[in-house]
Amino acid sequence: MFQNLQDKLDRAFKVLKGQGNITEINVAETMKEIRKALLDADVNYKTAKTFTDDVKQKALGQNVLTSISPGQLLTKIMNDELTALMGGTVSDLDISTNPTVILIAGLNGAGKTTFSGKLANYLRDKKGKKPLLVAGDVYRPAAVDQLQVLGEQVNVPVYVNRESNDPVAIAKEGVEEAKRNGNNIVIIDTAGRLAIDEALMNEISAVKDATKPHEILFVVDSMTGQDAVNTAKAFNDRLDFTGVVLTKLDGDTRGGAALSIKSVVNKPIKFIGTGEKMEALDVFHPDRMASRILGMGDVVSLVERAQQQFDEKQAAELQKKIRKNKFDFNDFKTQIQQIKKMGNMKDLMGMIPGIGKAIKDVDIDDNAFKPIEAIIDSMTPFERENPDAIDAKRRLRIAKGSGTNINEVNKLMKQFADMRKVMKQMSNPGIASKMMRNMP
Ligand code: GDP
């Protein structure tokens, strides 16, 4: 995410490296580079100018403490200013009303329908709500089908009326349906267009007037940079939306939209989409995004994502098994599946400070676990629970059955045995305390 911008900012900071002090001259030079980096990332011109002027002012106004370098000081100022630029703090959804009506707006292909599914999933899973999805795109039957599939996938009901071609009526019916069935959230997915036109704006304004939504979320594709900001402005002028959803931040986006939207439309980014899967949705944290842009990593998000996938009961059971040295291939496979659910591997690793840059040219294959899973699947249930029972002949069969080769099977068996050994040592309190005592 934002790799190019990260690299360029890094280079800009180098101007200050080795300099003992922040002076008018070296700051001006650094700011010129930073502004160039921002413009290259497709940040709005005015935003970039105001931003660098602010940073410069702050930098010149501060004494450099002896313990930090001018580069470090500037990183800190940049971090604070980028955070402020993107809204400062997290902006929560207002979901206190029963039912809360949430209208989803945006152009075709922005990711509205996908986001509607993700939001329903998030509100049910994380907020304990009972959402209803409403299929309001009357022009594309495929969009209705898509929402139904997503609804099924995340286990949320979808209100559909294929007889009607009136989005206002459908939206109103959806809200009534929610009241009847005790759904406390109504998410209305609406039709988009390829570009902004009057008919679209009139239609969505009419849906707004008829349903009085508590939240209107404008969904925009972050890959479209400046265009995203212009579209946001046009939608906001008509709809006065309550928040922005930036999608496709997992792609090769330059970052311009994320950095400019708040300052241009003065509405907060509330969510970001980071993939096609239903779990690939994050609440937008300006501070975390700032530190990611500056290559400082985003350990907090990483930990949170890990925690979301973490099932306490399962973990306790796993602990017990490890203690008894009963960790088997079934447990191993469950662990792999949990890691996979956390999202794209490269994205995850990019959140670790210092790693993002190091792996930018490395091809990290999300399918890396496939052969391992295939090997485990080719074992019999007995073998999965008793790996020691797998002899040479069976290894050959497993290699054949899984479409891998004997080397891969041997490697996995060896890694698994090593892992069990380490686990056993770690879980044995006697050994752990002995190890502690031996520490310097
Ligand atoms: P709509 O026309 O606005 O309803 O857009 P869709 O929800 O149909 O999304 C358009 C395409 O973008 C689909 O192929 C989605 O899978 C994809 N998409 C949506 N959100 C994301 C995201 O956050 N990341 C990625 N990589 N793809 C996304």
Beta pairing, strands 281-283 & 269-273: antiparallel
**pLDDT given at position 154:** 95
Mind listing the domains of the chain with CATH numbers? 3-85 (1.20.120.140), 100-296 (3.40.50.300), 312-437 (1.10.260.30)
* Of 156, 405, 425, 431, the residue nearest 278 (C-alpha): 156
Inter-residue contact 226 to 12 (CB < 8 Å): no
Q: What is the dihedral of CA 273, 230, 51, 39, to 10 degrees?
A: 90
Pocket test for ligand 1, best of 112, 114, 138, 347 (most atoms within 8 A of CB): 114
Distance CA 171, CA 210 (A): 8
3-state DSSP helix/strand/coil percent for the chain, to nearest 5? 60, 10, 30
**pLDDT given at position 305:** 65
Q: Does the C-beta of 222 come closer than 6 Å to ligand 1?
A: no
Task: Extract the annotated binding site for GTP.
Answer: 106-113, 189-193, 247-250
Mean pLDDT by 10 residues, the chain (440 residues): 81 73 80 90 90 89 62 80 92 94 94 96 94 92 92 96 93 96 96 80 93 96 87 92 94 82 93 92 92 70 63 73 81 78 68 60 70 92 92 94 93 86 64 44
Distance CA 302, CA 8 (A): 24
Distance CA 357, CA 130 (A): 41
**pLDDT given at position 253:** 77
Inter-residue contact 267 to 328 (CB < 8 Å): no
Q: Does the C-beta of 250 come closer than 6 Å to ligand 1?
A: yes
Q: Does the C-beta of 248 come closer than 6 Å to ligand 1?
A: yes
State in Å: Cα 315 to ligand 1 middle. 33
pTM of the model: 0.72
Contacts of 409 (CB under 8 A, 6+ apart): 375, 395, 398, 399, 402
**pLDDT given at position 74:** 80
State in Å: Cα 243 to ligand 1 middle. 18
